Amino acid sequence: MSKLLNTLNMPKKPAYKKDWHRADIIAAVRKTGTTLSKLARDLGYFHTTLNNALNMPYPKYERLIAQHLGTTPQAIWPSRYRNDGTPKSGRGERGLGRYKAKCKFNPTIKNSNVNHADTREVA
């Protein structure tokens, strides 16, 4: 009976560290005396560029924000990085063949590039 109770009380998902909330990231940047827009412009990017990292994975922009805050991207977005610190690719995590299944590309066929102009002469 005690084994049954132990299995019922087990958490369904393993505990993991949650990502910082987007408002927390914005507040942390604001505490340094700047904004994400100003930081982006200072780094030579368009003013809304760094906001993209708040919504979806962008390892380059995540690294820039983390460097400004004096931490690592893994500390801010643990769900976007593996244990060894490499970013999850997104496509590799969801399945590699997703795009290849839609687009049947056979590189053995001559002139198989769709953007390549057809150079054959018309008779």
Please state the three-class secondary structure of 14-65 as a single string: CCCCCCCCHHHHHHHHHHCCCCHHHHHHHCCCCCCHHHHHHHCCCHHHHHHH
For residue 98, the one-letter residue type is R
Cα 37–chain centre separation? 20
Please state, in angstroms and rounded to a whole number, the distance separating the CA atoms of residues 58 and 41. 17
What pLDDT score does 20 carry?
93
Q: CB–CB of 56/77 below 8 Å?
A: no
Identify the residue with better confidence: 41 or 1: 41
C-beta separation of 73 from 59 below 8 A: yes
- pLDDT exceeds cutoff 60 at 55: yes
pTM for the model:
0.63
pLDDT at position 17, please?
76
Are the C-beta atoms of 75 and 28 separated by less than 8 Å? no
Q: Would you list the domain boundaries of the chain?
A: 22-100
* pLDDT digits 0-9 by tens, 57-107: 899 999 999 999 999 999 999 988 888 888 887 655 544 444 444 455 555
CATH number of the structural domain 22-100 = 1.10.260.40
Amino acid letter for position 53: A
- And the tokens for 96? 């590699």
How far apart are alpha carbons 17 and 64 in whole angstroms? Answer: 21
Residue 61, Cβ neighbours under 10 Å: how many? Answer: 21
